Chains A and B, each alone.
Chain A
Amino acid sequence: MEKSKLGRIILVGAAILMLLTTYLAVIYVPLPQTSVKSADKILSSVEGSRIRVAGFVSEVYAKDTNIITGSYLFRFSIADFSDYQRYIAAAAGDQLDSQWWTVRPIDVVLRNPPGTFLLSVGGTWDSAGTGTNLSVLAVVVGSGIGPNSNITGFHLRTYSQEDITVGASPGQFGIMTAPVAQKIFYFHMPSAWVSYLAFFVTLVASALYLRTRDIKYDRWAFSSAELGVLFSTIAITTGPVWAKQEWGVYWRWDDTKLVTTFVLWLVYIGYLMLRASMTDTGTRARVGAVYGILGFVTVPMSLLSSRVAPLLQSSHPQVIASSSGSLSPEAGMTIGIAIIAFTLLFITMLIRRVEIAESEEELEELKRTIGGED
């Protein structure tokens, strides 16, 4: 009795908070600042020792837009940039002297609102001079092209590769180029979080099952994995919707976060398939539990990949404790509520799913009794 009451409270709470999240995300939260402010943010971090350069070092864009072709794109050097106005005034696709300075309107590249633009700075550095070759493409987002450009104090100066942090996209440095699309984040990130949580529940329940051999834990493990797959499917489908707007492509195979999450999704689909292909309850629970534990190896990989990125780089934005561009207070509150809402939703769904599993087993049992055979 008490239990069902608590269940109902959680259900109602989840429903209210989901509605609230939707309201906050769609109406309340102001659009994220794009352009200058963010650009300033990068530039302010330029002052000092280390220079941050957000670069579209991606073939995807080259293929997509056909503006830049050839491998020389990846051979860029950053030189004195104090004379920025000259470069900003340069027409799109201009090539100046031996170095290539190009200004590309961002709507050409990413089909973004006109007015914002992407300034890519680059050029080959005659290696005969210093023998140094920097593989960087600098990008600064601002608003308006021309002498009245809002970019001020743009000053980039570096002589060694150590001074530069290369980014795969402006998003990595907290710059959003597609503000409206960003709203999907309030559903994307909580879904992803819930899927990690669900897989963690599977891990714990699996371990408990192996320890106690209580079939109850197996039901929890299985139900949670099923919900985890559901929520990671949501995360994995809402992500590309945003990515198309922000990055110009739906998916990037050079991004660790995306690939590891995809792999994680496949692992737990495998888990569900494994469960489906076994009839004996005991074996299914036992073997499923082992795979549930083994499969969890992929979760930290996916969760941490946008931070540690061991082998490949990731341009997936970081949210929590990110060193660059943190969320505005409104956005922070919304995401907090969204996370609570999704977590509560997950809990209610999990309780219901376990109940269904119980009923299913009961039904099997009844069938067996009535059939009179075992």
Chain B
Amino acid sequence: MRAALAIAWKDLRIELRSKEMLSAMFLFSLLMVLAFRFGFEGSVDAGDVALSDLGASSLWICFSFAAIVGMHTSFAKEKDRETLEGLLLCPVDRSSIFLGKVLSNMVLVFLVDLLSILFFSLFFAYDFEGNAIAVVGIAFLGTLSLVLVGTLVAAISVNARAREVLLPVLLIPLIAFSVIIPSVSATRKAIAGDISEAVGEIQSILGFAVIFGAVGYLTFDYVLEG
């Protein structure tokens, strides 16, 4: 666990110095929310679309794509700068590397989640009122599951050619049913103020988080080899 924390802290410190990924993800989610604002201009003004629907779906599109951008970079950068070998030479378990990467990705992606929620509230002049905590909570849970599976898939795809394209191709089908659909549904309920009805969704997200975490923890050894 200490090794994992050290690796996560290393990643975050690099990020704090360069702010490369965070700024990219930040701009990405900003533009995404903006695109939704423009895209739904007419229907939002006319009140044709329920903001809880639009909010839940657009937020999760932001979250997942920002996460993909972030998680891709976390391994691609190591590969390109040839620091991945150094990381692998560390006298620690490969599983610790996995956990470390999950932690650092989680921090970054969750920050972007918070920003996206803020942007949404700003651009759509939407007041989350007391539901903000529930929305953030769901975002946290969903992102946890997303990052657990995403980190593994990012490590898988970093070996391939055309890895930028491959990561979403490999990841989105996996998360579609396990993370995105329940999260969107739970977020919709959270925005509407009845989070207590989203128990099934939360169970589903947590269940898949456990499955993905276990698979990642157990198979990460094999992914980063040689």
Residues of A within 8 A of B (CB): 210, 259-260, 263-264, 266-267, 270-271, 273-274, 277-280, 282-283, 286-287, 289-291, 293-295, 297-298, 301, 310-312
Contacts and interface: CB of A to CB of B under 8 A. Distances in A.
A277 B160 contact: yes
Interface in B137-182: 149, 152-153, 156-157, 159-163, 166, 169-170, 172-174, 176-178, 181-182
B182 A298 contact: no
Interface of A is mostly: helix
A290 B156 CA distance: 8
B169 A301 contact: no
A279 B160 CA distance: 8
A3 to B, nearest CB: 30
Interface of B: 149, 152-153, 156-157, 159-163, 166, 169-170, 172-174, 176-178, 181-182, 185, 200-201, 204, 208, 211-212, 215, 219, 222-223, 225-226
Contacts of B178: 297, 301
Nearest to B174: A267
Contacts of A266: 172-173, 176
B166 A298 contact: no
A291 B170 contact: yes
A88 to B, nearest CB: 38
A189 to B, nearest CB: 21
Given A290-B223, A297-B178, A297-B215, A274 B173 contact: no
B174 A287 contact: no
A203 to B, nearest CB: 11
24 contacts: A210-B219, A259-B177, A263-B176, A263-B177, A267-B174, A270-B170, A271-B170, A273-B170, A277-B166, A278-B159, A278-B160, A286-B226, A287-B222, A287-B223, A290-B152, A290-B156, A291-B156, A291-B170, A294-B149, A294-B153, A294-B174, A297-B178, A298-B174, A298-B177
A311 B222 contact: no
Pick the 8 closest A-B CB pairs, nearest first.
A266-B173, A277-B160, A267-B173, A270-B170, A290-B219, A277-B161, A263-B173, A270-B169
Contact of B182 (A282, A287, A311): A311
Contacts of A273: 166, 169-170
A294 B161 contact: no
Given A283-B226, A298-B174, A293 B219 contact: yes
A260 B177 contact: yes
Most-contacted residue by chain B among A210, A263, A290, A295 (CB, 10 A): A290
A352 B188 CA distance: 50
Contacts of A270: 166, 169-170, 173
A293 B185 contact: no
Contacts of A277: 160-163, 166
A274 B185 contact: no
B160 A295 contact: no
B204 A311 contact: yes
A301 B207 CA distance: 12
Given A267-B170, A286-B226, 7 more contacts: A274-B166, A279-B161, A283-B226, A287-B160, A290-B222, A290-B223, A294-B212
A297 to B, nearest CB: 6
B223 A294 contact: no
B176 A294 contact: no
A270 B169 CA distance: 6
A283 B169 contact: no
Contact of A287 (B156, B211, B215): B156
Contact of B153 (A263, A264, A291): A291
Contacts of B176: 263, 266
Contacts of B226: 282-283, 286
A280 B159 CA distance: 10
B170 A301 contact: no
A293 B152 CA distance: 12
A35 to B, nearest CB: 36
A51 B208 CA distance: 34
A294 B173 contact: no
A231 B212 CA distance: 27
A298 B185 contact: no
Contacts of A311: 181-182, 185, 200-201, 204
